Structure 1
Amino acid sequence: MLSFFKINDPLRVIFIFILLVIIRLPIWLSDIPLLTEEIHWLTLGAKLAEGKAMYRDVWDNVAPLSAGIYWFAAKFLGGSRAVYFAIAAFLTSIQSIMFNSMMNRSEAYKQKTFIPGFIYLIASNFSFDFMTLSPTLISLTFLLIGLRSLLRMERTDTEQSILNTGVFFGLAALAYLPSFSFLLMGIFALATFRVSSFQRLLLALIGFSLVWGAYLVFLFYNQALESFIQASIMSIGWNDHDFIQSWDQVLILLGFPLLMFIFGSFRTFSYNAFINSQQAIQQVMLIWVITALLSLFFSIYTTTFQLILFVPAIAFFTAHELLMIRKSLIGEITIFFYTFTLLAIMYATAFNFIPKKLTSPYEGALSVEVNGLDELGERVIVFGDDFNYLKGKKLATGYLNWEVSNRIFDRIDSYDEIRSIYNSFEEDMPDAIVDLNGKGAHVLSYLSIIKQQYKEITTENDVIIYKRIK
């Protein structure tokens, strides 16, 4: 396996696609429950496909570029889970090929090889939720393009490459807001590569600002700027950080890849024959890890699919370790062991083949069945933070994300807010109103005309549901 991918042959790209399909096919064909966040993204895409505008008609904190991709998937591709899997697989393949190409072009290793791309592909599958179309995965695509521009600058030292670095990091932040922290990594890396002047260093910040400035102007003219700031940007400071999985659950997945990173980085930095440019790239990839950790801090929640941000650094240093092994047999055994262990972890945790003493790393992240969901009708609104009630349903009104929507409902004693909420209900009447926290009853008390059209039902789980009278 090592000898096969050591050859820098463009035909190896075909094997990358085939290998990715083989690895992911058991997951695609399985009945693993949806992630609750997948329900969130599918519902968002379907709502936007109805012609609603993000941050103006739909209240949610998903970053705009990711929301646009969900809209595209729902509008033109059907918006199913299979479509999300297919787009995610395409992005992962492109990332693997692009990562391998940029490492060869920047001469990060002693030889040009396909090992970095292969390890990147394998490391992109150590958690099954890497296979869905998360904002983190979308953002990572732009982060890698920005990294490629940064590494090109090291060799060409052109203003255009510096500007492109900021532009693509800006697009990455538009896909996943905490990715803005990678701009700090880019500026530090530019300084590491000895940019000749402070003015040229600012080009990265200018490129980032151009992307965000253009989008903010677009929002201003569409009367959605204030809503975007409240729903997306300010959510980082207003919301409590939610740990969907505990750190011991995360370590079940990250433990072995972390050991790969440690062994690879130790072997890399203990080798003294690298040239200056190669050492600079190694420093950048170390900074990448620190920045990925920083992005978790800025996120409003922590969950396992965000770990995909660590894949480039794991692939980079593991490839160094493998290429330094002189005996071919030991190299083959090592790469086989890494591949087998990573995939074994993924399949074991995905299909819950783990010791009973261990808590599944996906506990709390997977959707659960809700009794009586079919009786709710087609269009539903949920007062509370539980996307399970939206599984297979369409969102009524634009109040999708509870943390964001609740700020509006808290101001319902204002005449303007009452009118806005009333208009939202009147234009898109729900078949059912799921009241998980009592806030639904409070809001309906201000909307007496709307309330008259519903009857109150209490489920076996003591959940109050207002069902529309037909």
Structure 2
Amino acid sequence: MLYILNVLPVLNTELEWMLIGERLNSDKSLYSEIWTNTGPLSSYFYGLVHFLLGRGQFYQEIVAFCILFVQTILFTLVVNNNKAYAERNYLPGLFYAVAVSLSFDANKLSPALLATTFLLLAINSIFRHIDNNDGSSEPVFEMGLFLGIGSLFWYPFPVFLVWALLSLIMFTPVKFNQILLLVLGFVLPAFITILFFYLTGSFDEFYAFWIQKGISLEFFKRIEVFEVLLVYGLPILLSIFGMFKVFTNSRYSNFQNRKQQIIVLSGIFALVAFFFSDNLATYQLLSLSPFLAFFMAGYFLHIKGTAFPEILFLIFLGLVLTINNFGVSPFIGKGYSHLEDMRIEKETEKSYIKGRSILITGPKNGDYFLAKSGSAYLNWNVSKFDLTNADIYESLINIDAVFQKEMPEFIIDNEQVFPKIFRRIPALSQRYERVEGTRNFRLKD
């Protein structure tokens, strides 16, 4: 109900995704005129959402819900069509829906969510390869292709190439040429993307902001580990119990055991991808969902009792929903503020910026919620080198070039970097005046 009522907190990363879509639909070029470290395919997907539906939290969450629904169906089909259990059932879909609803931020239209779709397709491909008796290498190439596409959505996703290689070597009679096909399939989307940005004149920025993207764990200190454990601890524990139930069951064939072990391996690499993410928000753990769903379902499939499984499931679901709702807002004055440092305020005291084009310095970008991005300097992490190093000639050249193309109506200078920039670039200083009583600046008429 919280998602339907559109009362979920808005995260600063989510707001940036909306702004990327808005700027792409304003004929701004990705990376050269939109400085962000969001993946290229994720960025263009946000542009498509904005083109079809417009900018808004509600639209993003509706699209995310639709993708989650498709993933739930897809995961059910992957498990049943490839006979990963002893018998066909719909519990995998049910528990996949639970696994992707553990935290409110998992229902955001994140790059991790978009990339997880291609992880499911890759799992389907390797399952098909295990069952394939004609020696065809097509599923192996498909798996590499899906992993390559997913890597253009979410930066840590390439770790699953190692998962694919290990899965092929450990659980299938793989040939050397099939490994080459896997790598070729993985590289092909990246090659096409590089060629696209080279031809559009944005390769240098694409290389700097995406290919050379720095891994930062700066959120690790601010997002307490116990919150991640609170959200995922119980499902992981239940999944471990499910692993024991599944692996000690004698009904499964050797082919089914291989598939189950591949799912376990995918869960391990999902955790690796999480710690390679540029922040440790819980939505970065969405690629763990296939592992959780498969073995939580396996646990309930193999426990005995007339009503015990149903009662246990209702208790488990109640705990999950309670933790989820407490993470959104306190209940009867109690709760925990999940992802507090990443939330934005939907209202602002700066009434003068509503509907205007602005530039914000610093990691807090909440003022964009009621305004528009008016500069290429969208993401602070990739912009701060230029904006905080006005003594470096190259940075001044970049700043001047950015402002020559586009001048925001207001500069919300949280980091107080523009006084120094204005001293270094007098021509730019003459275009702006300080907003009275603030540290911010207004474009002169």
Q: Which interval holds the TM-score relative to the shorter structure?
A: over 0.9
Q: Distance in 1 between matches of 2:74 and 2:392?
A: 52
- Structure 2 equivalent of residue 11 of structure 1: none
Contact 1:120–1:315 at 8 Å: present in 2 too? yes
Consecutive unaligned residues of structure 2, counting only runs of 5 or more, are: none
Q: Displacement of 1:415 after TM fit?
A: 5.7
Q: How does 1:382-393 map to 2 (within 5 A)?
A: 382-393=360-371
Q: 2:344 aligns with which of 360, 367, 372?
A: 367
Q: Is the Cα–Cα contact under 8 Å of residues 168 and 174 in structure 2 kept in the other structure?
A: no
What letter corresponds to residue 80 of structure 2 in structure 1?
N
| Shift in alpha-carbon separation, 1:337–1:442, aligned structure 2, 3 A | same
**Is the aligned partner of 1:112 residue 2:81?**
no
Q: CA deviation at 1:93?
A: 0.7
Cα contact 1:70–1:79 (8 A) shared by 2: no
1:143 aligns with 2:119: yes
The residue identity in structure 2 corresponding to 1:38 is: E
Aligned counterparts, 1:410-429, within 5 A: 417-429=395-407
Counterpart of 1:425, as a letter, is F
Answering whether residue 48 of structure 2 is matched by residue 79 of structure 1, we say no
Contact kept, 8 Å, 1:252 with 1:361, in 2: the verdict is: no
Query: Which residue, out of 90, 106, 112, partners 1:130?
Result: 106
What are the superposed Cα offsets for residues 224-251 of structure 1, whole Å, 9 maximum, x if unpaired?
22211211232224x4543251101222
The 2-side partners of 1:315 and 1:240 are apart by 28
Whether 2:353 is the aligned partner of 1:376: answer yes
Counterpart for residue 185 of structure 1 = 163
Report what 2:146 is aligned to.
168
CA distance in 2, matches of 1:225, 1:354: 53
Residue identity over aligned pairs, in percent, reads 27
Distance in 2 between residues matched to 1:260 and 1:104, nearest whole Å: 21
SS at match of 1:372: coil
Q: Displacement, 1:431?
A: 1.3
Distance 1:190 1:458, change over 3 A: farther
Within 2, Cα distance between the matches of 1:261 and 1:355? Answer: 32
1:92 to 68, 82, 94: 68
Deviates more, 1:320-329 or 1:365-374: 365-374
Structure 2 residue aligned with 1:221: 199
The residue aligned with 1:14 is none
Amino acid across the alignment from 1:36: N
Q: 2:422 aligns with which of 431, 438, 444?
A: 444
Matches within 5 A, 1:284-433: 284-353=262-331, 356=334, 359-368=336-345, 371-376=348-353, 378-409=356-387, 417-433=395-411
Q: CA contact under 8 A between 1:56 and 1:227: conserved in structure 2?
A: yes
The AA in structure 2 aligned to 1:389 is D
Q: Is the 8 A contact 1:397 1:425 kept in 2?
A: yes
Task: Please tell me whether the aligned partners of residues 397 and 429 of structure 1 are also in contact (alpha carbons under 8 angstroms).
Answer: yes
Distance 1:366 1:354, change over 3 A: farther
TM-score, normalising length from structure 2? 0.93
In structure 2, the residue matched to 1:465 is 440
User: Which residue does the alignment assign to 2:38?
Assistant: 62
Please report the TM-score for the alignment, with normalisation by the length of structure 1: 0.89
Q: Residues 62, 134 of structure 1: CA spacing in aligned structure 2 closer, same or farther, 3 A cutoff?
A: same
- Say if 1:383 and 1:440, in contact at 8 Å, map to a contact too: no
The superposition leaves residues 6-45 of structure 1 with CA deviations (integer Å, 9 ceiling, x where unpaired) of xxxxxxxxxxxxxxxxxxx333305333112211111111
The range that moved more, 435-444 or 163-172, is 435-444
Report the Cα distance in structure 2 between the residues aligned to 1:307 and 1:96, rounded to whole angstroms: 16
**Per-residue deviation at 1:84?**
0.7
Task: Report the Cα offset of residue 456 of structure 1.
Answer: 1.8
How many angstroms does 1:420 deviate by?
Answer: 4.0
Is contact 1:396–1:429 with CA below 8 Å preserved after alignment?
Answer: yes
Instruction: Render the CA deviation track for 1:144-173: whole Å, top value 9, x for unaligned.
Output: 111111111111152111000000011111
AA in 2 matched with 1:255: G
Q: Which is further off, 163-172 or 147-156?
A: 147-156
The aligned residue for residue 22 of structure 1 is none
Secondary structure at 2:173 match in 1: coil
The whole-number CA distance in structure 2 between the counterparts of 1:67 and 1:311 is 23
Structure-1 separation of matches of 2:94 and 2:346: 38
Give 2:175's match in structure 1, choosing from 197, 211, 214. Answer: 197
Give, in whole Å, the separation in 1 of the partners of 2:15 and 2:275. Answer: 24
Q: Which range moves more in the overlay, 154-163 or 263-272?
A: 263-272
Consecutive unaligned residues of structure 1, counting only runs of 5 or more, are 1-24
The Cα shift of 1:445 comes to 2.3
- Please tell me the residue identity of whatever aligns with 1:467: R
Residues 263-317 of structure 1 show CA distances to partners (whole Å, capped at 9, x for unaligned) of 2122222324421111111211111121111112221211121122211111100
SS in 1 for 2:307: helix
Contact 1:34 1:366 in 2 (8 A): yes
CA distance in 2, matches of 1:240, 1:445: 34
**How many angstroms apart in 2 are the aligned matches of 1:84 and 1:30?**
10
| Aligned length, in residue pairs | 441
Kept after mapping to 1: 8 A contact 2:386/2:398: no
- For 2:128, the equivalent position in structure 1 comes to 152
Match of 1:101 among 77, 82, 100: 77
Whole-Å Cα distance in 1 between the matches of residues 371 and 333 of structure 2?
A: 35
- Give the RMSD, CA atoms, in angstroms: 2.0
Change (3 A) 1:205 1:282: same
Q: Is the CA contact 2:111–2:154 (under 8 Å) kept in the aligned structure 1?
A: yes
Take 2:230 and 2:114, find their aligned partners in 1: how far apart are those partners?
A: 24
Alignment check: 8 A CA contact 1:236 1:298 kept: no
**What CA distance in whole angstroms lies between the structure 2 residues aligned with 1:261 and 1:60?**
36
Asked if the contact 1:432–1:465 (Cα under 8 Å) also holds between the matched residues in 2, the reply is yes
Q: Aligned AA for 1:88?
A: A
Superposed displacement of residue 347, structure 1: 2.0
1:110 is matched by which residue type in structure 2? A
TM-aligned CA deviation for residue 206 of structure 1: 0.9
* SS at structure 1 position matched to 2:440: strand
